[in-house]
């Protein structure tokens, strides 16, 4: 693990410089932010609030509000929290500002890896990455003499052995909840088969051998999963892990810390983190980032204040206080054993989530359409054909396909 | 009452309804015949995103909406007639499926799947709510005076509790190894997964709805029972009418207006069933009409939303409700005529 | 004679009572259960063995427990609260206050009782038992695992109090405006036999049947950009409606109007028209007749309708979650946010505690107003 030592070394070097308390600046400009509400954002916005005059909205509906709130003049929020995909509508509408001058002025603490560039211009500042990767019960696999699975075939074989041994209720867990989660599972699996989603002229391109292969792997997984898989989201899978009901799952890196949480987990220290299993071509996972954007519709003075406050939110102090809350991209982060899975997944060549306007539609129709295949109502080809048809209807309505 | 006085009395109320209900409704109606979309240009864009240590940069041809001088997205709006309705109804596919006699294929089309569930949900829960409500009311009425207060209080709980929380609390009892599922498993000595197939989820959702609404029906009926004419009850007893006959010929006719009232409210509320779908996360198995509308309406992660189809599906839902309500409305009309 | 003739034979009475008991169990159990969960550590709260959830061995092992004495004290305090809320308070308000004072009496009485019971349950009982426990030997030993830490997290750390205030503000606004606008309209509709009145009622009915999500999503862009399109009217000070409680109040009032005017109309229809006609003969205008003759007798119906408005505003999720931002969010969307975001099991139990917290005021309300609901409905607020 060369990269780990490298990062750790960098972290130690940085943390010595960031040892002052609270916030280094005193903010006098009223600022507001709108972002999703998970732990990492909570930690960051709490740190930002120490600078004063700052109000954070950690909102489940942020996706629905953000495009309009940023398009308003002046923007209702100066700072936004986005991920790969949720940046697209803001970028398209031109409602977020390029940050090159601000980065030059106040971004000494940023690494080049954090700067999200679109056509050479810095449009967002990433603070963390997230990816689904394999978590497994090291004690169970060791007992049964199973090596760490590296491909989905090996995962399924291991699941068969675990099932035969009958040591846990269900060998596998999966975030198969209909909607976004299920769509994401297919996206991962299909990327693992080396597929592309959108073809020339925004036409759908999933009804092919890779698509069928991805579906078949998913169906094979369901045989080893809780039969209620269509309602199980990440929190539910995490709880199944904590209660010792499952032995393996491809789960989000941001959930890793919960496995070792003494207060709620019964399997502390028994869950190992590994790279996402490979499909036939690549790791079956996609890399996500979360980070800041800044509204275009605000004064330059506000922009400077907003940027500085955001930088204070992701300083070394915040990172060291919340080291395990996420896989941070920030100076001061010490990747522990919990981050090993995400790091290995990236090292194996997992691709970033292919965010784009058409992909947004594709993800939605996948999430809604796949259940019919898993419940056995349709066969794989019909399912994929129907999903492509649903995509076409929506894409035509959005004006993306002629 | 002179028109002017009448207008002054109802003015504020009508104004609020016009502003916040009628006006949006008209715009929804209008949107269902139009499609508004941005004009896209194909542009090569280089995007750099973080990896774990280094960045990945890709250059792709992307559809980027054209902006005007002020930086707003240029959109064009086209009249498309009934196209959005056709997209929602998918009549062609529905017809093919039906003519080949395949109910399963027919039920794989979103709108018809949603309509099937919405209708069966509405029509099955309606008699259950009325009967449960009536039963509870009659039982409370015949219970000892001293326990009536506490019983009414407990009965009202499911009705007053916040719907989202009520649905979740029932959800937890059955989800996975929830204690009631565990109890059932122990009793039947077999593995049970309540959320693994459509019909069990449907039963749970209907149970929740009856649990949630029956108290309202019960309390209304109970209030009605307080005004039953005691004289006619007594003369019925003297005529030797059995308990059942009294219920059938005196009490139920007396409660009829209330039964109509409850039915009307219940038809409207259950036809737009939505909280259950979200609370029991049943999207994978069953969906409802309002959920379908909602799903068209919420933007996906890249900000696309299907406003036109959402509008069309909302209008179709409204037509459905209007049709269901016609018999009850005709009764109201007769009352109105007779009442003055 | 009627009492004895209507008396049910024993078997029937028995069956009826058994079914009633069964119904009460079904009605109360899910709510009782989340209440139990909210007092346990995560491991116990989600245990699949019901007994473990109730007794909470893990919670006990962590040193949070209750002795037999504490349980008795707690039950006593709860019983006293119920007694006060359902008997003493209504009786006091009705007998010793009249007219407008009653309103104030209700509000102050309910508030005092609410705050008092929280203080007693979470303050006095633990304190008293802390003193007595060591003296009582076996009675003072913890037997049931129980912890109030989740409530502390919700109210102290998460600042749930702000959400509570927002909920109060919005609910109070909706109930007052909805009732004032609705009584006028209900009266007007009840006293007019015109075709217009009928059609307004029918259209209101159809409005009530509308799927809300359609309407609400339509408001969002308009509310967010309101400072731009209101600028011609208000100039520089044009408000942004998004995130403003008064805008949400207006929307909820409008959505609630159809039901309110239907309820109140049937209620007013049951007040003999001769009453206000007599006043009109004496030279009163319609408004004067309304104020002098109708207002004094309309309270049962108004209170009942008001309770339904209260429930709608207090429980609303769709409108409040979309149109308010975090600073003035009400309790329901705040809780939904706790459940939906990336959570730990502890967070979920905290959210359950929050859910129980927001149900408590509803409990109270029903306890206090229970008779008013029934009598209001009996007096004819629902005649179809």
- Over residues A340-369, the pLDDT tens digits come to 888 888 888 888 898 888 898 999 999 988
A209 and C CB contact within 8 Å: no
Q: Report whether B38 contacts B65 (CB < 8 A).
A: yes
CB contact residues (below 8 A), chain B span 93-132, against chain A? 104, 108, 110
Cβ contact (<8 Å) for B284 and A375? yes
Query: C-alpha B108: how far from its chain's center?
Result: 21
If asked whether residues A301 and A355 sit together in one domain, one would say no
Q: Which of A297, A243, A348 is nearest to A95 (CA)?
A: A297
- pLDDT at residue A20, as a whole number: 39
Q: State both tokens at C34.
A: 């989340």
- pLDDT at residue B337, as a whole number: 64
Task: Look at phi and psi of residue C239 and say left if phi exceeds 0, alpha if psi is from -120 to 50, else beta.
Answer: beta
Query: Does residue C102 register a pLDDT over 70?
Result: no
Counting as low any pLDDT under 50, the low residues of chain B are 340
């737009």: which residue's tokens? B272
If asked whether residues A150 and A226 sit together in one domain, one would say yes
A398 and B CB contact within 8 Å: yes
ipTM for the predicted complex: 0.84
Mean pLDDT of chain C: 78
Q: What residue in A sits closest to B298 (Cα-Cα)?
A: A64
Residue B44 CA to residue C306 CA, distance in Å, equals 60
Among the ranges given (B94-103, B114-123, C45-54, C200-209), the one the predictor scored with the smallest mean pLDDT = C45-54
Residue C342 has its nearest CB partner, among A39, A55, A56, at A39
Cβ contact (<8 Å) for C181 and B230? no
A371 and B CB contact within 8 Å: yes
- pLDDT at residue B126, as a whole number: 93
Neighbour-count burial of A53, counting CB atoms closer than 10 A to its CB (0-12 exposed, 13-18 middle, 19+ buried): middle
Query: Does residue C20 register a pLDDT over 70?
Result: yes
Instruction: Report residue C137's pLDDT band, with 50, 70 and 90 as the boundaries.
Output: low
Identify which has the larger pLDDT, C93 or B160: B160
Strands A170-173 and A246-252, bridge-based pairing? parallel
| Strand-pair partners of B4 | none
A36 and C CB contact within 8 Å: yes
Q: What values do phi and psi take at C281, rounded to 5?
A: -60, -35
pLDDT tens per residue across span A202-216:
899 899 999 999 999
Chain B residue numbers with beta carbons less than 8 Å from the beta carbon of C26 are 211
Q: Which of B269, B289, B285 is nearest to B118 (CA)?
A: B289
B73 and A CB contact within 8 Å: yes
Tell me the CA distances in angstroms from C13 to A122, B140, C8, one per residue in order: 78, 11, 6
Query: Does residue C214 register a pLDDT over 50?
Result: yes
Cβ contact (<8 Å) for C343 and A263? no
pLDDT tens per residue across span B255-313:
888 888 888 889 888 888 888 888 888 888 888 888 888 888 888 888 788 888 888 88
Strands A271-274 and B34-38, bridge-based pairing? unpaired
User: CB C260: neighbour CB atoms within 10 A?
Assistant: 25
pLDDT tens per residue across span C320-335:
887 887 778 888 888 8
Whether the ω angle into residue B89 lies within 30 degrees of 0, i.e. cis, is no
Instruction: Report residue A11's pLDDT band, with 50, 70 and 90 as the boundaries.
Output: very low
Residue A239 has its nearest CB partner, among C46, C321, C326, at C46
Query: Mind telling me how many Å the CA of A236 is from chain B's nearest CA?
Result: 9
- The distance between the two most distant Cα atoms of chain C, rounded to a whole number of Å, is 79
Question: Among A56-60, A96-100, C56-60, which range has the highest average pLDDT?
Answer: A96-100
Residue B6 CA to residue C28 CA, distance in Å, equals 45
If asked whether residues A76 and A56 sit together in one domain, one would say yes
CB contact residues (below 8 A), chain A span 22-81, against chain B? 63-64, 67, 71
Residue A242 has its nearest CB partner, among C240, C327, C345, at C345
Is there a domain that residue B66 lies in?
Answer: no
Is there a domain that residue A199 lies in?
Answer: yes
Query: Mind telling me how many Å the CA of A246 is from chain B's nearest CA?
Result: 13
Domain containing B200: what range? Answer: 111-297+305-333
If asked whether residues A302 and A393 sit together in one domain, one would say no
Q: Report whether C319 contacts C248 (CB < 8 A).
A: yes
Cβ contact (<8 Å) for B303 and A357? yes
Query: Mind telling me how many Å the CA of B89 is from chain C's nearest CA?
Result: 18
Q: Which of C86, C59, B295 is nearest to A178 (CA)?
A: B295
Kindly list the domain boundaries of chain C, sorted by start residue. Answer: 57-147, 159-381
CATH number for the domain harbouring residue A305 = 3.40.190.10
Chain C residue numbers with beta carbons less than 8 Å from the beta carbon of B161 are 31, 359, 362
Is there a domain that residue B9 lies in?
Answer: no
Cβ contact (<8 Å) for B51 and A287? yes
For residue A356, give the 3-state DSSP assignment: coil
CATH number for the domain harbouring residue B133 = 1.10.3720.10
Among the ranges given (A9-13, A132-136, A162-166), the one the predictor scored with the smallest mean pLDDT = A9-13
Is there a domain that residue B260 lies in?
Answer: yes
Q: What residue in B sits closest to C185 (Cα-Cα)?
A: B10
- pLDDT at residue C100, as a whole number: 60
Q: State both tokens at A58.
A: 């950690």
Residue C36 CA to residue A248 CA, distance in Å, equals 32
Is there a domain that residue B20 lies in?
Answer: no
Cβ contact (<8 Å) for C224 and A65? yes
Average pLDDT (A365-387) is 89
Is there a domain that residue A296 lies in?
Answer: yes
Between vectors from CA B155 to CA B152 and to CA B159, what angle results, nearest 5°? 120
Cβ contact (<8 Å) for B306 and A356? no
Between vectors from CA A315 to CA A313 and to CA A317, what angle results, nearest 5°? 105
If asked whether residues A371 and A224 sit together in one domain, one would say yes
Query: Does residue A4 register a pLDDT over 80?
Result: no
């912890």: which residue's tokens? C147
Length of chain B: 340
Neighbour-count burial of C10, counting CB atoms closer than 10 A to its CB (0-12 exposed, 13-18 middle, 19+ buried): exposed
Neighbour-count burial of A347, counting CB atoms closer than 10 A to its CB (0-12 exposed, 13-18 middle, 19+ buried): middle
What CATH number should be reported for the domain whose range is C159-381?
Answer: 1.10.3720.10
Domain containing A33: what range? Answer: 2-130+287-335
pTM listed for this prediction: 0.86
Pick from C45, C47, C217, C326 the residue to mutate for testing the A interface (most A CBs within 10 Å): C326
Cβ contact (<8 Å) for C326 and A239? no
Q: What residue in C sits closest to A266 (Cα-Cα)?
A: C43
pLDDT tens per residue across span C338-351:
776 666 777 788 88
Chain A residue numbers with beta carbons less than 8 Å from the beta carbon of C221 are 68
Cβ contact (<8 Å) for B1 and C192? yes
Query: Mind telling me how many Å the CA of C252 is from chain A's nearest CA?
Result: 19
Name B44's Cβ contacts closer than 8 Å, sequence gap at least 6. Answer: B59, B60, B61, B62
Chains with at least 3 CB pairs less than 8 angstroms from chain C: A, B
Pick from C213, C224, C260, C349 the residue to mutate for testing the B interface (most B CBs within 10 Å): C213
Chain A residue numbers with beta carbons less than 8 Å from the beta carbon of B56 are 351-352
Strands A327-328 and A121-130, bridge-based pairing? antiparallel
If asked whether residues A120 and A153 sit together in one domain, one would say no
Query: Does residue C91 register a pLDDT over 80?
Result: no
Instruction: Report residue A295's pLDDT band, with 50, 70 and 90 as the boundaries.
Output: very high
B59 and A CB contact within 8 Å: no
Question: How many A/C residue pairs have CB atoms within 8 Å?
Answer: 83
Query: Mind telling me how many Å the CA of C317 is from chain A's nearest CA?
Result: 12
Q: State both tokens at A304.
A: 């400077």
**Total of domains in chain B:** 1
**Total of domains in chain A:** 2
Residue C380 CA to residue C384 CA, distance in Å, equals 10
Residue A60 has its nearest CB partner, among C227, C243, C340, at C340
Cβ contact (<8 Å) for B162 and C315? yes
Mean pLDDT of chain A: 86
A168 and B CB contact within 8 Å: no
Look up residue A350 and give its DSSP letter.
P
Pick from A297, A370, A399 the residue to mutate for testing the B interface (most B CBs within 10 Å): A399
Cβ contact (<8 Å) for B298 and A64? yes
A163 and B CB contact within 8 Å: no
If asked whether residues A209 and A272 sit together in one domain, one would say yes
Q: What residue in A sits closest to C241 (Cα-Cα)?
A: A76
Task: Look at phi and psi of residue C324 and say left if phi exceeds 0, alpha if psi is from -120 to 50, else beta.
Answer: beta
Identify which has the larger pLDDT, C109 or B205: B205
| Strand-pair partners of A198 | A204
B149 and C CB contact within 8 Å: yes
Chains with at least 3 CB pairs less than 8 angstroms from chain A: B, C
Chain C residue numbers with beta carbons less than 8 Å from the beta carbon of A46 are none
Task: Write the DSSP assignment of A80-130 as a string of letters.
Answer: EEEETTTHHHHHHTT-B---HHHHHHH-TT--GGGEEEETTEEEEEEEEEE
Residue C125 CA to residue C367 CA, distance in Å, equals 22
Residue C185 has its nearest CB partner, among B9, B140, B243, at B9
Query: Does residue C4 register a pLDDT over 50?
Result: no
């Amino acid at each position: 693990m060369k990269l780990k030592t490298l990062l750790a070394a960098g972290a130690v070097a940085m943390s010595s410089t960031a040892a002052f308390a609270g916030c280094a600046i005193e903010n006098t400009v009223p600022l507001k932010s709108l972002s999703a509400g998970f732990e990492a954002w909570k930690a960051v916005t709490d740190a930002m609030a120490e600078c004063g005059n700052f109000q954070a909205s950690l909102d489940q509906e942020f996706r629905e509000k953000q495009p309009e709130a940023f398009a308003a003049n002046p923007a209702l929020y100066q700072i936004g929290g986005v991920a790969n995909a949720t940046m697209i509508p803001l970028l398209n509408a031109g409602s977020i500002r390029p940050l090159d001058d601000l980065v030059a002025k106040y971004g000494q603490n940023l690494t080049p890896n954090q700067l999200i560039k679109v056509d050479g211009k810095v449009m967002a500042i990433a603070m963390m990455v997230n990816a689904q990767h394999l978590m497994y019960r090291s004690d169970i696999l060791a007992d049964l003499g199973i090596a760490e699975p590296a491909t989905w075939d090996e995962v399924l074989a291991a699941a068969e052995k675990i099932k035969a041994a009958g040591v846990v209720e269900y060998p596998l867990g999966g975030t198969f909840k209909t909607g976004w989660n299920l769509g994401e599972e297919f996206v991962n699996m299909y990327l693992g088969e080396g597929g592309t989603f959108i073809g020339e002229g925004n036409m759908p391109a999933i009804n092919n051998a890779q698509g069928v292969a991805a579906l078949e792997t998913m169906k094979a997984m369901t045989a080893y999963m809780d039969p209620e898989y269509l309602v199980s989201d990440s929190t539910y899978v995490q709880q199944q892990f904590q209660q010792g009901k499952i032995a393996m799952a491809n789960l989000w890196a941001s959930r890793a810390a919960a496995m070792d949480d003494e207060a709620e987990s019964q399997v502390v220290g028994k869950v190992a983190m590994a790279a996402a299993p490979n499909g036939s071509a690549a790791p079956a996972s996609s890399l996500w980032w979360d980070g800041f954007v800044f509204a275009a519709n605000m004064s330059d003075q506000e922009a400077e204040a907003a940027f500085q406050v955001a930088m204070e939110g992701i300083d070394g102090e915040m990172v060291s206080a919340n080291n395990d809350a996420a896989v941070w991209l920030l100076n001061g982060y010490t990747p522990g054993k919990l981050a090993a899975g995400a790091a290995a997944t990236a090292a194996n060549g997992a691709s970033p989530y292919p965010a784009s306007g058409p992909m947004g539609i594709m993800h939605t129709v996948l999430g809604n359409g796949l259940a019919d295949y898993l419940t056995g109502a349709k066969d794989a080809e019909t399912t994929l054909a129907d999903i492509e048809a649903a995509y076409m209807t929506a894409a035509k309505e959005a004006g993306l396909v002629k | 009452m002179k028109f002017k006085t009448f207008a002054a009395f109802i003015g504020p109320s009508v104004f609020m309804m016009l502003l916040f209900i009628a006006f949006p409704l008209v715009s929804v109606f209008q949107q269902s015949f139009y499609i508004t979309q941005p004009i896209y240009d194909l542009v090569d864009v280089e995007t750099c995103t973080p990896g774990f240590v280094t960045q990945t940069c890709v250059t792709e041809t992307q559809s980027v909406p054209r902006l005007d001088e002020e930086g707003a997205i240029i959109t064009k709006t086209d009249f498309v007639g009934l196209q959005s309705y056709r997209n929602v109804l998918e009549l062609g596919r529905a017809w093919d499926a039906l003519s080949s006699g395949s109910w399963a294929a027919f039920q794989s089309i979103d709108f018809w799947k949603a309509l099937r569930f919405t209708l069966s949900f509405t029509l099955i829960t309606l008699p259950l709510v009325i009967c449960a409500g009536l039963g509870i009311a009659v039982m409370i009425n015949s219970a000892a005076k001293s326990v009536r207060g506490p019983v009414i209080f407990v009965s009202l709980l499911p009705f007053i509790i916040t719907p989202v929380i009520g649905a979740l609390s029932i959800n937890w009892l059955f989800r996975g190894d929830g204690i009631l599922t565990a109890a059932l498993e122990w009793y039947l000595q077999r593995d049970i997964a309540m959320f693994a197939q459509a019909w069990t989820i449907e039963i749970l959702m209907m149970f929740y709805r009856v649990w949630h609404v029956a108290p309202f029906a019960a309390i209304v009926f109970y209030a009605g029972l307080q005004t039953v004419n005691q004289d006619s009850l007594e003369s019925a007893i003297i005529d030797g009418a059995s308990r059942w006959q009294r219920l059938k010929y005196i009490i139920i006719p007396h409660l009829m207006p209330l039964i109509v009232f409850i039915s009307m409210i219940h038809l409207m509320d259950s036809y737009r069933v939505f909280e259950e779908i979200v609370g029991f996360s049943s999207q994978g198995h069953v969906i409802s009409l309002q959920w379908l509308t909602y799903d068209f309406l919420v933007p996906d992660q890249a900000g696309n939303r299907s406003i036109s189809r959402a509008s069309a599906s909302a209008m179709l839902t409204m037509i459905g409700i209007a049709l269901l309500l016609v018999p009850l409305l005709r009764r109201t009309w007769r009352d109105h005529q007779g009442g003055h | 004679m009627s009492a004895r003739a209507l008396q049910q034979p024993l078997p029937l009475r028995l069956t009826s009572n058994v079914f009633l008991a069964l119904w009460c169990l079904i009605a109360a159990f899910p709510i009782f259960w989340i209440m139990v969960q909210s007092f346990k550590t995560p491991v116990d709260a989600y245990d699949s063995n019901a007994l473990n959830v109730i007794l909470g061995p893990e919670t006990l092992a962590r040193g949070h427990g209750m002795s037999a004495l504490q349980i008795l004290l707690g039950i006593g305090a709860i019983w006293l609260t119920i007694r006060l809320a359902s008997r003493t308070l209504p009786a006091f308000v009705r007998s010793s206050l009249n007219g407008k004072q009653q309103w104030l009496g209700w509000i102050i009485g309910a508030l005092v009782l609410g705050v008092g019971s929280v203080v007693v349950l979470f303050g006095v009982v633990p304190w008293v038992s802390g003193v007595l426990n060591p003296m009582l030997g076996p009675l003072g030993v913890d037997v049931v695992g129980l912890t109030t830490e989740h409530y502390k997290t919700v109210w102290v750390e998460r600042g749930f109090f702000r959400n509570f205030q927002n909920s109060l503000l919005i609910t109070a606004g909706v109930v007052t405006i909805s009732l004032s606008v609705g009584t006028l309209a209900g009266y007007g509709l009840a006293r007019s036999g015109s075709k217009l009145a009928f059609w307004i009622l029918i259209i209101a009915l159809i409005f009530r049947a509308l799927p809300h999500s359609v309407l609400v999503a339509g408001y969002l862009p308009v509310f967010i950009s309101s400072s731009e399109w209101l600028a011609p009217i208000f100039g520089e000070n044009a408000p942004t409606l998004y995130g403003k409680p008064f805008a949400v109040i207006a929307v909820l009032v409008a959505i609630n109007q159809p039901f309110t005017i239907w309820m109140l109309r049937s209620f007013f229809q049951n007040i003999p028209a001769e009453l206000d006609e007599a006043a009109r003969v004496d030279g009163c205008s319609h408004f004067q007749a309304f104020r002098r003759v109708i207002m004094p007798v309309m309270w049962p119906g108004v209170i009942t309708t008001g309770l339904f408005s209260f429930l709608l505003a207090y429980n609303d999720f769709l409108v409040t979650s979309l149109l308010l931002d975090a600073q003035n969010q009400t309790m329901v969307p705040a809780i939904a946010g706790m459940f939906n975001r990336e959570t730990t099991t502890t967070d979920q139990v905290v959210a359950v505690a929050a859910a129980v917290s927001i149900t408590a005021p509803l409990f109270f309300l029903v306890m206090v107003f229970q008779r008013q609901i029934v009598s209001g409905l009996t007096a004819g607020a629902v005649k179809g």
